[in-house]
Chains A and B, each alone.
Chain A
Amino acid sequence: MNALETHNLNKSFGSLVVADDISLSLPKGARHALIGPNGAGKTTLINLMTGALTPDSGTVHLGDVDITGLESNERVKKGLGRTFQINTLFPKLTPLESTTMAICERMGVAGRWLSPLANQSDAIDEAFELLKQIGLADDCTKITTDLAYGQQRLLEIALALATKPQVLLLDEPAAGIPKSESAALFEAIAALPEEISVLFIEHDMNLVFTFASRITVLVQGKVLVEGTPDEIAHDPLVREVYLGGADHG
């Protein structure tokens, strides 16, 4: 059984087709890269998977559950986590608070309004541990806007991990980070527990070929080809349309 599957997803905005009959499956433990030129519909596909967008037709399955009809937040509860290409954080709060909130929500205690947050010792400790793991412990009581950009990217991932996802969708996790640092960020991603299935969008082909076990190439809302890194590297279509074309790194 696959961790995540989409069946014939379609989505148009007016006459603009952004997802054209996309069927994709993510086996358990996958490290799957989604590549394609700008405007190919990569983020749109993630939004369709998470429920941020509703498909015109087609279905999304998480494990053996059809989640197409679920709200975004309900999908998270089922184990579908995501990060955003552009930092989508809580500017005035600290990483410790942000992560603690995410864990409280996962534990089902975030609706409690008569007991102090400080009593949620399990959630607070877990948040601190998670931030330690990802390398943010030293700055976890700074306001998010005061963090360096690279740290904010790490917080993006920490927040997604706090939901304990089975499937993690990473939308250009290294976007905006200098090349020298992005490898380290991907090491952190590669070090994620094996049972988490990861789908990531990335423009840097070195990173893609280093970390992905499978690659899907998306062009104009359509799956052009899917295969192992080796197959993709030698696919004539891909070479022509994508790798041989303009540099999109």
Chain B
Amino acid sequence: MQQQITDPQKWMRQKTRISPIEIAFWLSVLAVPYIFFPNYLALANQIAATAIFCISLDLIIGYAGIISLGHAAFFGLGAYAAGILSQKGWGEPITGALFGAIFAGFGGWIVSFMIVRVQHLALLMITLGLGFLLVELANTLDWLTGGSDGLVGIDTWNLFGVFKFTFWGHTAYGYTLGATFLVFLLARRLVNSPFGLALETIRENPQRTTALGVPNRARLQKVFTISAAIAGLAGAILTQTTETVSLDSLGFQHSADIAVMLILGGTGRLYGAILGTIIFMVARDQLSGMNPQYWYFWIGLLLMIVVLFMPRGILGGLEKLMEKVRGL
């Protein structure tokens, strides 16, 4: 992509073209679990919901450069909002999921005023503190959230009034994967928009964007709010499809896990978030089956290897490999 160009518009468009590999990828994540792993649909559902969460984190870390160790706060806000709504008698899934997203987005908007005023270590501590705060809040409000017992009594109605959410998870996976695909399209649109480019420039050099007239804070607040809403959507959907929420969904471990998934897959490329989620969750399922206590040993090892040898994540490493193969 470093040749001389005569048509700059065409060059810009080329960068965003959908490739055959992408189509093949989405068809396979739709077909493979249903056909080959019907017993793993519950896991596939969890992976798809977590991929939504991971994409939301990629928007702020990968594109805007806002590092967060507390993003599960928004996942949890969406999860509890949708769960409580259902428990109180409204179990329609799509409106419920949107309710969770809007609720979490509102929370994100409030927090964003703090987030854009700090950087580096202070940013990590604020996001970390936010997670602690929400866990304790949810624990204290046990009359509403069920506290440490988790929220019970969630009942998700049929999807489109027709498809029942059953134990086997056929409806659940279709519903969640559909949402994942829509979120992916939305995120892709965002990162390929003028706003997405502005975010990348802020990440690269905030001093310069200021000198070009960019209101950095307003832009960052906007993406943080959108990201929080998407995280909330992920939480809402997982709650609806599993009909349970626990305090863990808000907690630090969850925030750390999602960050690990993103780093493993590779930041700033959306597919990295999806790939990282698949690798992490499948590995956890397999490794914890073998040795439930020590599986984080292997994740820790994998994380260190990836960060040391593939600084752009597994997907970045694969891309580099492809380039080399093509160059031969």
A interface, CB within 8 angstroms of B: 50, 52, 71-74, 76-77, 81-82, 84, 88-93, 96-98, 100-102, 104-106, 109-118, 120-121, 123-125, 127-128, 137-138, 140-142, 146, 159-160, 162-163
For residue A112, which residue of chain B has the nearest CB? B194
**Which of B2-10, B33-41, B174-182 sits within the interface?**
B2-10
**9 shortest A-B CB distances, which residue pairs?**
A76-B213, A113-B195, A90-B204, A128-B8, A118-B13, A104-B194, A118-B12, A110-B198, A102-B212
A148 vs B190: C-alpha distance in the bound complex, in angstroms? 32
Main secondary structure of the interface of A (DSSP, over half): helix
For residue A97, which residue of chain B has the nearest CB? B197
The answer to whether residues A114 and B189 also contact, given A93-B201, A140-B5 and a CB cut-off of 8 A, is yes
A30 vs B170: C-alpha distance in the bound complex, in angstroms? 72
A135 vs B288: C-alpha distance in the bound complex, in angstroms? 59
For residue A106, which residue of chain B has the nearest CB? B213
A101, B192: Cβ atoms under 8 Å?
Answer: no
> Interface size of B by Cβ–Cβ distance < 8 Å?
38
| Cβ distance A111 to chain B, nearest Cβ, rounded Å | 6
The answer to whether residues A125 and B190 also contact, given A88-B205, A111-B195, A116-B16 and a CB cut-off of 8 A, is no
The answer to whether residues A116 and B213 also contact, given A88-B205, A111-B222 and a CB cut-off of 8 A, is no
B205, A90: Cβ atoms under 8 Å?
Answer: yes
Q: Is B11 an interface residue (CB 8 A)?
A: yes
CB-CB < 8 A to B208: which residues of A? 84, 88-90, 159
A91, B204: Cβ atoms under 8 Å?
Answer: yes
CB-CB < 8 A to A73: which residues of B? 209-216
CB-CB < 8 A to A105: which residues of B? 198, 209, 212-214
B198, A118: Cβ atoms under 8 Å?
Answer: no
B8, A125: Cβ atoms under 8 Å?
Answer: yes
Q: Is B92 an interface residue (CB 8 A)?
A: no
Q: Is B286 an interface residue (CB 8 A)?
A: no
| Most chain A C-beta atoms within 10 Å of own C-beta, residue among B9, B12, B215, B216 | B12
B204, A77: Cβ atoms under 8 Å?
Answer: no
Contact of B211 among A82, A93, A101, A138 (CB under 8 A): A82
CB-CB < 8 A to B190: which residues of A? 113-114
